[in-house]
Amino acid sequence: MNAPSLTLAVLLLLVMPSIAFAPMQTTYTPLFDGVNAYSYLEAQCDFGPRPPGSANLSLCRAYIKSVLESFGWIVTLQNFTYKETECANIVVSWTETSNTTVLLGAHYDTRPNATEDPIQANHNLPILGANDGASGVAVLMELARVLPMENRSGVKFVFFDAEDSGYLNGWDWIRGSTYFVSELNQTERDSISAMILLDIVGDANLRLPKETSSTDSLQNIVWNVADEMGYGHIFLGSYSTSILDDHRPFLDAGIPALDIIQVPFPWYWHTLEDTPDKCSAGSLSVVGRVLEVFISGGTPSSYPLDQPILLYAGLAAIALILVSYTVIRFRRR
């Protein structure tokens, strides 16, 4: 073998693996549609404020149930009473006997009083909860529409009631999730490998630092997926603080749990200004796509953006080989 041929052989050996393995990688293109998710957010707000026990919340519950059933999911209502108020968690699974591995949650009730509103007279009025409530629900509804069929039996969605009435009329926070976990037997607890909670994930200027009580290993996996997808400016590497939220009862039961939540809370949190115009389809899309890739088991390297990069790298290498070969041949003459 002469020198030019040897050079060519070495180049081919270096380049071939990337070309050969590129088509073998698990590819997964997220189907999550942020505009669709935003329409679910608006539809919830169209019912008006949705505090526990209200007619508006009943209508919204029926709406969420009907949409999920239209996607083929099995929806059951887990009724419970708290302080003489009829409440219900919405439990969604793909089969009657699904072995849950990932449980995705969000609260669908809204705070009965705008206790953080700058106008004192507004404190007795209920909030619309576009971001605080509807955003997390909207992302989960769109995920339920687009999740690959082969992943559905390993997923359960729970929409919690009675999360956001803490300190009002003697109410506590997170009553729906607390009730849900209290009803799980040990086998059911063991079947949940991860609980992921979405809360306040719709702000147009979304920033998600890591919540400090969440399970580190689970949080890091999800954050790595986000980072590899180019969303490191939204899923921040910094830490916020510990939040009392619907993931807490799961942590207390020994279940790995993660709260994806914007902290500090947006300026309109628990005010009458928590309206759809503060949220964006783009933000819902980022959160939804990260979860879609995470659940589909797609490794970060399987994000579709990587495929063109590999393809272009391969084509560039081939071009380089051809040019080198031609130059070498030309010089030998």
What are the φ and ψ backbone dihedral angles of 172, each rounded to 5 degrees? -105, 170
Q: Determine if 164 is a binding residue for Zn ion (CB under 5 A).
A: yes
Q: Whose Cβ is closer to Zn ion: residue 132's or residue 292's?
A: 132
Q: Whose Cβ is closer to Zn ion: residue 106's or residue 181's?
A: 106
Q: What angle do CA 230, 231, 233 make, to 5 degrees?
A: 115
Q: Whose Cβ is closer to Zn ion: residue 50's or residue 152's?
A: 50
Q: What angle do CA 227, 228, 232 make, to 5 degrees?
A: 20
Q: Whose Cβ is closer to Zn ion: residue 132's or residue 203's?
A: 132
In angstroms, give the least distance from the CB of 200 to Zn ion. Answer: 7
Helix (H, G, I), strand (E, B) or coil at 284: helix
What residues between 58 and 117 interact with Zn ion by CB under 5 A? none
In angstroms, give the least distance from the CB of 144 to Zn ion. Answer: 23
Q: Determine if 246 is a binding residue for Zn ion (CB under 5 A).
A: no
In angstroms, give the least distance from the CB of 110 to Zn ion. Answer: 8
Q: Whose Cβ is closer to Zn ion: residue 246's or residue 292's?
A: 246
In angstroms, give the least distance from the CB of 164 to Zn ion. Answer: 4
Say if residues 177 and 246 touch (Cβ distance below 8 Å).
yes
Task: Give the C-alpha separation, 3 to 255, whole Å.
Answer: 62
Q: Whose Cβ is closer to Zn ion: residue 164's or residue 292's?
A: 164
Q: Whose Cβ is closer to Zn ion: residue 132's or residue 228's?
A: 132
In angstroms, give the least distance from the CB of 314 to Zn ion. Answer: 49
The site for Zn ion, by CB under 5 A, has a size of 2
Q: Determine if 273 is a binding residue for Zn ion (CB under 5 A).
A: no
Instruction: Candidates 126-134, 136-144, 177-185, 318-326: pick the segment binding Zn ion (CB under 5 A).
Output: 126-134
In angstroms, give the least distance from the CB of 160 to Zn ion. Answer: 12
Pure H helices in the chain:
3-21, 34-45, 55-70, 136-146, 149-152, 175-182, 186-190, 216-228, 248-252, 281-295, 306-332
The 10 Å Cβ neighbour count of residue 290 is 27
In angstroms, give the least distance from the CB of 247 to Zn ion. Answer: 14
List for the chain the helix, strand, coil content (%; round to 5). Answer: 45, 15, 40
Task: Give the C-alpha separation, 289 to 275, whole Å.
Answer: 23
Instruction: Candidates 87-95, 127-135, 165-173, 244-252: pick the segment binding Zn ion (CB under 5 A).
Output: 127-135
In angstroms, give the least distance from the CB of 75 to Zn ion. Answer: 24
Q: Which of 123, 231, 103 is nearest to 177 (CA)?
A: 103
Instruction: Candidates 160-168, 179-187, 204-212, 252-260: pick the segment binding Zn ion (CB under 5 A).
Output: 160-168
Q: How far is CA 35 from the centre of its chain?
A: 15
Task: Give the C-alpha separation, 154 to 101, whole Å.
Answer: 5
H/E stretch holding 87: strand 85-93
Q: Whose Cβ is closer to Zn ion: residue 90's or residue 263's?
A: 263
Q: Determine if 132 is a binding residue for Zn ion (CB under 5 A).
A: yes
Residues forming contacts to Zn ion in the complex (CB under 5 A) are 132, 164
